[in-house]
Amino acid sequence: MRIAILVSLALAACSSEPQIHISTQFAATAGEVSFLLPNGTTQAVAASDLVGKPYVVSVFEGGFSQGNDDPLDLEWGTVPDHLTIDFTSTVGFEPGPYDASVIVYVNTPVASEDMQADAAFEPEAPVGGDLSAFTLDEGDILPGDPSFEAGVVRINVIDGEGDASKHLSNRTAAPDNSDALLEAFTDTILLVP
């Protein structure tokens, strides 16, 4: 993985291909950030408990095999005070489907030396209390493209359209409103139970 990422970083300097941008925003109310759980209920986390926690954003070929395929681009960081993670790829991408993973390690310990693009450490799967990107929306799967697995969002780089962007946020809804709940499960950040 280390060699692949170093090659990707080196190629970024001379790439004129579109980049991928992912903005992940945690909206706080009264010092708390509410997240959906997979069962549709919500749970609040103190915003102060998120600040400084390690995160990783990874971009893969569309339809990648989780745990087997290396990311095409990867960024480590810590959640800033303003609760927004802004990722811009360090490499350019050819037209096609890409899957992105955003994980915030609220409970999983990650050593600072492991949070390097060239580290041999591979990001862990999120565990209970960690946060992960999620969507139920399959509208981003274009005809002929592979499907995607839970825990990622699809981003399409379209020929001639330039950079591709995705916005994620901690969407919530009342569990008894099925339409709002379905919308809340679109491009969101889930709290892993």
> Domain-by-domain residue ranges, the chain?
2-191
The pLDDT score that the predictor gives to residue 15 is: 54
Question: In the numeric block, which tokens belong to residue 82?
Answer: 């303003």
Instruction: Give the separation between CA 79 and CA 28, rounded to whole angstroms.
Output: 13
Instruction: Give the separation between CA 108 and CA 176, rounded to whole angstroms.
Output: 32
The pLDDT score that the predictor gives to residue 116 is: 78
The pLDDT score that the predictor gives to residue 149 is: 86
pLDDT along the chain (193 residues), means of 10: 45 70 97 95 96 96 88 95 97 96 95 76 87 94 91 95 97 86 94 95
Please give the distance of CA 181 from its chain centroid, rounded to a whole number: 20
Instruction: Give the separation between CA 191 and CA 171, rounded to whole angstroms.
Output: 11
Identity of the residue numbered 131: L
Q: DSSP alpha helices (H): ranges in 1-138?
A: 2-12, 47-50
Q: Say if pTM beats, i.e. exceeds, 0.85.
A: yes
